[in-house]
Structure 1
Amino acid sequence: MLDFLFLLKAAFLGIVEGVTEFLPISSTAHLLIVGDWIGFDAGQDKVYEIVIQLGSILAVMWIYRQKISDVCVGTIKRNRSDLFFVRNLLLAFLPAAIIGLLLIKYIKQLLDGQFMVYAITLVVGGLIMLWVESRPEMAKHTHLTDDDLSHKTQRIEDISVKQALVVGFAQCLAMIPGTSRSGSTIIAGMLAGIHRKTATEFSFFLAMPTMIAATVLSLYKYGSYLSESNLLAVVIGFVMAFLSALLVVKALLSFVAKYSYKPFGWYRIIFGLIVGIWAYNLV
């Protein structure tokens, strides 16, 4: 017999994943915390989380399908611009791939699932975001003059080796629960001199190899937990994550072309304080 309330919760969490995955507010924190608040239990939550995250990344790949196709063809033809694009992604991907394989297991053992850790990292991340966006030079990221354009990296293909590595090492911070992969890479890119919208797009492209690799590894480890009892919930969550991510990615690119990330910084602080109070009362 179908449990419609259970499937409704699965759909809701799928939307939460799709909405938060590419916003700088930590999708993992939202999935864990909101899932606990609504009493969602997929039997093996890790599998559910893995599969719906794949739905989000496939949404971004669909949005940028033409760009991905063009880069693949251009790389084969050894087009200079496309080769630089691929180089930048590889350079940014490697730090998290190497450090993640070495340390992620130990970091998760120490910090994963501790709600107070999420509360602290949400607040600290929000404060950092507000500080970065309050710097005088960051105001130019929103309203650029022709003179400013020469001082900001406007295209992913023009990102330097140093900038790509800065973003790559910043992505390693996402191994700390509640930090946000997108938040750390976007803010690091902006600090490195990449224009806000370009840094955001680069973060999206960097998510593709990073999250696909993480998904394959996680499915290898936890795939056996996928069963008939939770399959429908997983499928519903996947579809909702895919559809909601389609809407959010387009909206975010339009937003950052005109505005700063300050609203997300304030959101992180408020949500982090709420989680902190809740976690403290649990003790």
Structure 2
Amino acid sequence: MADWIYAVILGLVEGLTEFIPVSSTGHLLLTKSLLGLPDGFWDTFSVMIQLGAILAVVVLYFQRLWSVFLRLPSDPQARWFAASVVIAVIPSAIVGFALHDLIKNVLFESAPLICVSLILGGVVLIVVDRWSPRPRENDAMALSFWRTVGIGLFQCLSIVPGVSRSGATIVGGALIGIDRRAATEFSFFMAIPTMVGAFALDFWENRDVLTADNLGVIAVGFVVSFVAAVLVVKTMLGFIARFGLTPYGWWRIAVGLIGLGVLQFAGS
């Protein structure tokens, strides 16, 4: 199969799963394993195309983000929103940088761990969807300091592949009294510096792997990821408001169980 077809498949997986609480990293790693793609370039490819999904948030929220930027010198609320995003990403940035080699070379190589994380995370989503504290804050651009810190700490759980960055932040936000819609929206904003940082680090460490021959493949995955992510971001807030987190929980459980079954079959 041509590399560009693999790029389209992985781009779709990334774009469709980056912002929903099902773990885009877990789905990408399982898909890569299912397709029999080797490590090295395809691992770097999976990180590179995440920037396409992040660009979808920038495009769809451009007016609000640009308005905040223009009001930074004069508006305390705009300055606090910008500061809250920075505060929220600091814990995961520290953990991710400190444990980068462990995460990429050990955790990302464990397909059973990914499947188990998907299943356990699915159970958590279903439980939290039914029993969570009454929300006390519902504005993603005006969260209190301690809830900002709390949602940032929850994002650290996503260093384990299969946990889901968006899942950790949405569930964490719900548990500490943030409305699910607001927590989801804030996770979009947190994704921008988080994933740009991960992209920059991986790009620098793997710059020798990137050549003129494979830049076209990355471009295909980038564009597909962007288009798919636009569709997801435009519909996700309404979907969660209507159906909650439970459908995502059952999806995670199903994918995790299927993954474990495939691994058992392949190993027997």
Q: 2:50 aligns with which of 50, 53, 67?
A: 53
Post-superposition shift, 1:231? 2.0
Post-superposition shift, 1:9? 2.2
Post-superposition shift, 1:58? 0.7
Q: 1:42 to 1:125 in 2, by over 3 A?
A: closer
Post-superposition shift, 1:165? 0.9
In 1, Cα distance between the equivalents of 2:61 and 2:24? 21
Give deviations 1:239-271, integer Å, cap 9, x for gaps: 000001000111101112222110000110111
In 2, Cα distance between the equivalents of 1:119 and 1:20? 15
Note the 1:1-283 alignment, pairs <5 A.
5-40=2-37, 44-77=41-74, 79-135=75-131, 137=133, 152-283=136-267
Shifted more, 89-98 versus 32-41: the winner is: 32-41
Report if the CA contact (8 A) 2:107-2:161 is conserved: yes
- Which amino acid in structure 1 is aligned with residue 115 of structure 2? A
In 1, Cα distance between the equivalents of 2:46 and 2:132? 39
Post-superposition shift, 1:104? 2.9
- Which amino acid in structure 1 is aligned with residue 72 of structure 2? T
Post-superposition shift, 1:137? 4.6
> What RMSD in Å do the two structures reach over aligned CA positions?
1.7
Report if the CA contact (8 A) 2:10-2:46 is conserved: no
TM-score, length of structure 2 as denominator length: 0.94
- Which amino acid in structure 2 is aligned with residue 11 of structure 1? V
TM-score, length of structure 1 as denominator length: 0.89
In 2, Cα distance between the equivalents of 1:266 and 1:93? 28
Report if the CA contact (8 A) 1:42-1:48 is conserved: no
Post-superposition shift, 1:90? 1.5
Report if the CA contact (8 A) 1:6-1:40 is conserved: no
- Which amino acid in structure 1 is aligned with residue 157 of structure 2? L
In 2, Cα distance between the equivalents of 1:192 and 1:81? 22
Q: 1:107 to 1:41 in 2, by over 3 A?
A: closer
Q: 1:152 to 1:258 in 2, by over 3 A?
A: farther
Q: SS where residue 66 of structure 2 aligns?
A: helix
In 2, Cα distance between the equivalents of 1:89 and 1:82? 11
- Which amino acid in structure 1 is aligned with residue 217 of structure 2? A
Post-superposition shift, 1:161? 1.1
Post-superposition shift, 1:55? 0.5
Aligned residues: 267
Shifted more, 32-41 versus 228-237: the winner is: 32-41
In 2, Cα distance between the equivalents of 1:13 and 1:136? 34
Q: 1:42 to 1:123 in 2, by over 3 A?
A: closer
In 2, Cα distance between the equivalents of 1:103 and 1:6? 31
In 1, Cα distance between the equivalents of 2:197 and 2:23? 19
